[in-house]
């Protein structure tokens, strides 16, 4: 802290403000004292508790009404909306004589409004910087549909040359990429180029890298397009209009529209002060608004209309012309309190405070090295790390490398950060151009990634040795040095490899994490051979299972294991991660009676479901194509009502229908590829069986006891059932199962598919009928069981079915592994 303040003390913490940063946190963000480190302000900043108190007081002290009326309350609401418009314009130093503020449902709606009303023609051009949000790229569809050309460009700033006047500023160059056209036969004529309107779009700040764009682009494009676009097919085009996407950048440095008179500026209010969501604005120059072509009309936008003939007279004021329907007047009333907050701190002080934190974090990340001397972090868009430079906003975007030069997946960073109470963002942040540009992904890379199944928000963070996205942390006006330091400490402890230690009993695993020295484990000489301790079947995915002494095997694993699942009414698969109460649903199958019995403390009666199978022959589990329909319609309704009561939300129970599909579900519950491609599974995530070792669980318990006394006081020792295994073995050394290639249990043969990648579901416990969540044991497992981005505990198995005999597996049987 002392070193930080020595460099940034005059900028950090609002030393000249009405409150310093400590007072702001103590009085307005008490909810963050619970250990949450929020570092995704580029996605959405946080609302202040004082701000919300003032909004609530305003709402409970006043009466607001629909402004489309002449009543006193409606007129007062109209005045309030007019005042809010004035505050928005004032924030951007825009005169009401030159600009109008159109409220929209968000920044995306504002951009869509520009795209659909812009006066496109087949001679128009739409140029946009590579570093633009998808919501800006979407305007391209309107342009191309009207026969216009579209083209992505790169902006390059060249420093002053010797002898050049220093006050002339850097030279800006625009380099175009491939021109996109759908009307390939069009030929632009000189005279038509001069008459067509063209649009140039760029963000005030890139939401991927934090790079700030030079706002001189506004004047240069509008006043001197021939020079700016020299060497491109667009150099002869005139009548350029400029759009600034200020959704990200306006929270710290809003564009000054008196100095940089852009035609359109897009705003998002929750990125400014956290609340309200669902409200944005389009600031439009009044002369530009007259050129926009709006087709639809609605209540509030017409002066008069006649229902049975083609007649409509529209309102003339810009806001009234474009704002369809009743304004979101309560949300608009709320933004006044947000602007009051920003005005008290001032945008310049917010910028200095937040940027001092981002520069500090960048410098720390840049300096990190593994024990062998290799760099750890690759930063994107962070060439200038001086606060005096306005080249970068309070955003830090990066990827991390292992000592061998391979990449840590960004999902691994996100997963571990979440366990440490740190909320950050990963992926491409809806900015595909900046993502491809900074990660050096070619069109071939991008297309092959899509062909490999990669889409936004999936699990594919590294493909063919290249990251498909990045990690982003971003700071808001209430962020603190302590949060920045906790983030740095997390990166060091989780991803920086120390020098290798030799001769002291410590072994480096995967270049980073070490096992406990052997003397810290229980005495090794008494380890016995392995035997099967218990068998558990989970008929319904994510519900409690039941243990048996013996159970039949079939081609999907244990007969009826995960043969049913609970599905929400919108089609999502429900699990304990979303609905922890599912752990309270107990199940049992009576093979002789052919019944599945289900009970819950939330339901008075036990539920019995007839299993439509003539016997418990392990190979008779072939169901017809309607096997997911449970009993008759009345029975199905009864079953679904029971489960809806048990978990407290509408749902239905589905049964697995046999097929040859090998699709599994990824973290977003969308189809992904199973680990096990050679066997059939029901609704399991990865494989037929999960095997857990009692000795491995005992070692984990020892680590938890040594690490966290508070955790041990609040929780019982971990039981192997916490990990939802099918098979629990006893005997041997901890983690011996990691090295097994095949294993024989009794007379049955199994193939190891490798370790089971654990998720936060193992942090959910059911103690005395109460569902509890914590960060353990996943946090401890992450400290020593990480391999290539996965936290492994337990072993996945595939049953090598014997078609000739009916096979059973029984507790107490000997377990004989074949070790690598």
Name the residues annotated as catalytic.
430
CA 492 to chain CA centroid, Å, is 23
Nearest Cα to 53, choosing from 343, 346, 337, 344? 337
Strands (E), 659-746: 663-665, 671-673, 689-693, 727-730, 740-745
**Number of C-alpha atoms within 13 angstroms, CB side, residue 421?**
13
SS3 5: helix
Residue 351 CA to residue 394 CA, distance in Å, equals: 8
Q: Is the distance from CB of 715 to CB of 762 less than 8 angstroms?
A: no
Please tell me what DSSP assigns to residue 353: H
Q: On the CB side of 577, how many CA atoms lie within 13 Å of its CA?
A: 10
CA 340 to chain centroid, in Å, comes to 31
Give the C-alpha separation, 734 to 521, whole Å: 9
- Classify residue 316 by burial, with Cβ atoms within 10 Å: 0-12, 13-18, 19+: exposed
User: Which of 563, 573, 541, 569 has its CA nearest to residue 651?
Assistant: 569
Q: What radius of gyration, in Å, describes the C-alpha atoms of the chain?
A: 31
Q: Where do the H-state alpha helices sit in 441-548?
A: 443-451, 481-495
Strands 727-730 and 689-693: what pairing? parallel
At residue 766, φ and ψ (nearest 5 deg) are -120, 95
- Pairwise CA distance, residues 27 & 25, whole Å: 6
Give dist(CA 219, CA 199) in Å, integer. 13
Q: How far apart are CA 294 and CA 373, in angstroms?
A: 61
Q: How far apart are CA 282 and CA 289, in angstroms?
A: 11
Taking the mean position of all CA atoms in its chain, how far away is CA 580? 21
Q: How many residues are given for the chain?
A: 820
Handedness of CA 722, 725, 730, 733 (dihedral sign): negative
Transcribe 700-717 into DSSP letters.
HHHHHHHH-HHHHHHSPP
For the chain, the farthest-separated pair of C-alpha atoms sits apart, in whole angstroms, at: 96
Burial label for 558, CB within 10 Å (0-12, 13-18, 19+), is: buried
Q: How far is CA 582 from each of CA 574, 762, 769, rounded to the nearest angstrom?
A: 9, 14, 11
DSSP run (H or E) holding 754: strand 748-757
Per-residue burial over 685-706, b = 16 or more CB atoms within 10 Å of its CB, e = otherwise? bbbbbbbbbbbbbbbbbbbbee
DSSP state of 238: -
């Amino acid at each position: 802290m002392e070193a930080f303040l020595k460099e940034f003390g005059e900028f950090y913490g609002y030393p000249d403000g009405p409150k310093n940063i400590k007072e702001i946190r103590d009085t307005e963000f008490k909810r963050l004292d619970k250990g949450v480190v929020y570092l995704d302000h580029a996605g959405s900043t946080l609302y202040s508790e004082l701000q919300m108190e003032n909004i609530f007081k305003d709402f409970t002290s006043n009466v607001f009404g629909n402004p489309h009326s002449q009543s006193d309350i409606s007129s007062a609401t109209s005045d309030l909306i007019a005042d809010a418009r004035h505050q928005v314009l004032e924030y951007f130093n825009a005169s009401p004589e030159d600009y109008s503020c159109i409220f929209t449902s968000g920044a995306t709606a504002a951009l869509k409004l520009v795209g659909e009303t812009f006066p496109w023609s087949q001679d128009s051009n739409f140029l946009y910087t590579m570093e633009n949000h998808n919501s800006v790229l979407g305007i391209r569809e309107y342009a191309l549909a009207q026969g216009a050309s579209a083209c992505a460009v790169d902006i390059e700033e060249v420093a002053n040359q010797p002898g050049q006047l220093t006050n002339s500023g850097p030279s800006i160059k625009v380099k175009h990429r491939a021109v996109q056209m759908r009307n390939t036969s069009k030929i632009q004529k000189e005279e038509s180029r001069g008459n067509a309107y063209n649009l140039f779009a760029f963000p005030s700040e890139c939401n991927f890298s934090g790079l700030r764009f030079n706002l001189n682009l506004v004047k240069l494009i509008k006043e001197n397009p021939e020079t700016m676009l020299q060497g491109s097919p667009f150099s002869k085009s005139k009548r350029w209009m400029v759009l600034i996407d200020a959704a990200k950048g306006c929270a710290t440095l809003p564009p000054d529209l008196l100095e940089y008179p852009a035609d359109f500026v897009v705003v998002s209010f929750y990125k400014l002060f956290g609340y309200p969501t669902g409200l944005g604005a389009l600031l439009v120059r009044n002369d530009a608004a007259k050129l926009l072509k709006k087709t639809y009309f609605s209540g509030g936008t017409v002066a008069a209309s006649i229902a049975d003939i083609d007649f409509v007279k529209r309102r003339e004021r810009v806001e009234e012309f474009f704002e369809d329907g009743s304004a979101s007047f309560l949300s608009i009333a709320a933004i006044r309190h947000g602007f009051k907050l920003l005005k008290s701190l001032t945008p310049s002080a917010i910028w200095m405070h937040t940027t001092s934190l981002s520069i500090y974090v960048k410098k720390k990340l840049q300096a990190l090295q593994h024990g062998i001397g290799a760099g750890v972090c690759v930063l994107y868009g962070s060439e200038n790390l001086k606060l005096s430079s306005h080249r970068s906003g309070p955003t830090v975007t990066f990827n991390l490398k292992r000592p061998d030069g391979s990449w840590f997946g960004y999902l691994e960073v996100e997963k571990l950060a979440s366990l440490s109470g740190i909320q950050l963002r990963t992926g491409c942040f809806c900015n595909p151009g900046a993502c491809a540009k900074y990660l050096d992904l070619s069109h071939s890379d991008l297309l092959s990634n899509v062909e490999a199944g990669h889409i936004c928000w999936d699990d594919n963070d590294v493909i063919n040795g290249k990251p498909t996205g990045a990690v982003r942390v971003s700071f808001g006006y209430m962020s603190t040095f302590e949060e920045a330091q906790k983030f740095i400490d997390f990166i060091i402890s989780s991803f920086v490899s120390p020098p290798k230690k030799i001769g002291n009993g410590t072994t480096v695993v995967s270049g980073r994490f070490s096992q406990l020295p052997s003397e810290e484990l229980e005495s090794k000489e008494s380890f016995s051979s392995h035997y099967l301790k218990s068998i558990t079947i989970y008929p319904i995915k994510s519900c409690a299972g039941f243990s048996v002494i013996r159970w039949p095997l079939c081609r999907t694993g244990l007969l009826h294991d995960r043969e049913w699942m609970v599905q929400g009414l919108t089609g999502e698969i429900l699990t304990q991660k979303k609905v922890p109460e599912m752990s309270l649903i107990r199940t049992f199958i009576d093979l002789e009676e052919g019944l599945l019995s289900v009970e819950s403390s939330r339901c008075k009666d036990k539920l019995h479901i007839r299993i439509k199978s003539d016997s418990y022959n392990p190979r008779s589990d072939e169901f017809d194509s309607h096997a997911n329909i449970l009993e008759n319609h009345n029975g199905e309704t009864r079953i679904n009502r029971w489960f809806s009561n048990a978990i407290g939300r509408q749902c239905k129970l589905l049964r697995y229908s046999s097929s040859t599909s090998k699709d599994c579900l990824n973290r977003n519950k969308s189809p992904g590829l199973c680990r096990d491609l050679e066997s059939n599974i029901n609704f399991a995530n990865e494989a037929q069986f999960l095997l857990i070792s009692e000795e491995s669980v005992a070692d984990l318990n020892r680590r938890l006891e040594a690490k966290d006394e508070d955790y041990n006081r609040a929780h019982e020792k971990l039981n192997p059932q916490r990990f939802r295994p099918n098979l629990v073995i006893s005997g041997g050394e901890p983690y011996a199962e990691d090295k097994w290639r095949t294993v024989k249990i009794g007379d049955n043969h199994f193939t190891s598919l490798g370790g089971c990648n654990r998720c936060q579901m193992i942090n959910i416990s059911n103690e005395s009928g109460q569902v509890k969540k914590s960060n353990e044991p996943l946090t401890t497992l992450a400290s020593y069981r990480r391999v290539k981005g996965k936290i492994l505990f337990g072993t996945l198995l595939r049953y090598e079915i014997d078609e000739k005999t009916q096979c059973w597996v029984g507790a107490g049987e000997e377990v004989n592994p074949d070790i690598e």
